[in-house]
Amino acid sequence: MYPRSQLMNSNLQKISILLLVMGLFGCVKPVEVVKSPVSVGPGEQLLAAGVQSFTIGDYTAAMQYFKGALAVGRGVDDDRGVVLAEVNMAETALGMGDLSQVRNHLLEAQRLVEQRGVEGFASRLEMISANLAIREGRGDVGISILAPYLTNTNGLHGNNDYSDEYRLAALISRTELAFTDDDEENDQYWVALYRQVFADSAISNISYKARLLRFEARLAHLAQKRMERDKFLAQAMKIYREGLTRPGLAALLVEWGRYLAEDEDRNGARDLFNRAFFVRVQMRDRYGCEQVLSLLEALDAADGEDVGPRLEETRRWRAVVNGNNPKMWGGLVEKRNPVR
């Protein structure tokens, strides 16, 4: 019979690891019901609720649940529970685009791991550090952190976990970074490596497949193969819709809109950007909303005609996104249903 604290920490770890492969890295897997011979504690309940909220893209609710789990962990002097909550909040803040919060929670988690000897978090902390560096424009630092995960295999090496899930997470970030350079051969290399690792892995989560389809679509777009591109994107969208995966769906809509804008199909691009905006509104994703609003403004500027009403609507949306009135966000959610 294991002590209750040991069982609870084990279950917390199992649930919390799910965030690593969620929308933050383009893949989502459903929350697993972890069974144990003892009742589930309040900290684990809050963590599971936070993971569920993160899964559907409700980052605001997820953050509140994780803050509650943090308070519970501190209240019972549970170092591992506290680190789990800090790591989850860092990953959630990264999804929200709040980089200052990412840094704060990451530093606190790193401090606790180092000072109190909490094990099992090295790889997750490195993934967060790498993606934070990339988002801050320090791609060389991100690449340096990700490098071991792109070469090592067969699970644990010291404190690090080079299992398929971590390797795929690293490959997603590295492949995204590759597409920022004007080097199609390099793009093809990283997509091919992701394709191979995914095919060879024992992971059955089809959201990894959706991410691969989006990469394949990007290669097809660069090769000006529009029909092939749209076929890949439609398959990925089907996966995201069936899995109710808002982060992946929103990202796909933005990508597809960008492709149509480059094809000079501004009406089609605007429709996709609008749909992406309202998905991100439902996620309470300020960073993502700002990104889409900027894309809509660029489309209006390219039209070269009287777009006053559209610009005014965009300004109203930006005021809501930058405000702190939850009722106003609710009004945007009710404006339309973007998934159709």
Amino acid in the structure at residue 203: I
Q: Judge whether 32 and 14 are in contact, CB under 8 Å.
A: yes
What are the pLDDT digits (tens) for 42-76?
888 898 899 888 877 788 889 999 999 999 988 98
Model confidence pTM above 0.85: no
Q: For residue 336, is pLDDT > 60?
A: no
Q: For residue 17, is pLDDT > 70?
A: no
For residues 163 and 32, which has the higher predicted lDDT (pLDDT)? Answer: 163
Superfamily (CATH) of domain 1-116 = Tetratricopeptide repeat domain (1.25.40.10)
Q: Which of 236-240, 246-250, 320-324 is predicted with the least confidence, judged by mean pLDDT?
A: 320-324
**How confident is the model over 102-121, as a mean pLDDT?**
92
Q: For residue 317, is pLDDT > 50?
A: yes
Q: For residue 339, is pLDDT > 50?
A: no
d(CA 4, CA 15): 17
**How confident is the model over 78-106, as a mean pLDDT?**
91
**What tokens does 155 get?**
């699970």
**Rg from Cα positions in the chain:** 21
For residues 13 and 221, which has the higher predicted lDDT (pLDDT)? Answer: 221
- Per residue, the 3-state secondary structure of the chain, as one string, reads CCCHHHHHHHHHHHHHHHHHHCHHHCCCCCCCCCCCCCCCCHHHHHHHHHHHHHHCCCHHHHHHHHHHHHHHHHHCCCHHHHHHHHHHHHHHHHHHCCHHHHHHHHHHHHHHHHHHCCCCCHHHHHHHHHHHHHHCCCHHHHHHHHHHHHHCCCEEECCEEECHHHHHHHHHHHHHHHCCCCCHHHHHHHHHHHHHHHHHCCCCCHHHHHHHHHHHHHHHHHCCCHHHHHHHHHHHHHHHHHCCCHHHHHHHHHHHHHHHHHCCCHHHHHHHHHHHHHHHHHHCCHHHHHHHHHHHHHHHHHHCCCCHHHHHHHHHHHHHHHCCCHHHHHHHHHHCCCCC
Q: What pLDDT, on the 0 to 100 scale, is given for residue 96?
A: 83
Q: What pLDDT, on the 0 to 100 scale, is given for residue 282?
A: 82
Q: For residue 258, is pLDDT > 80?
A: yes
For residues 213 and 291, which has the higher predicted lDDT (pLDDT)? Answer: 213
Q: Judge whether 145 and 124 are in contact, CB under 8 Å.
A: no
What are the pLDDT digits (tens) for 144-154?
999 888 876 55
**How confident is the model over 132-148, as a mean pLDDT?**
90
Average pLDDT, the chain: 80
**How confident is the model over 111-131, as a mean pLDDT?**
90
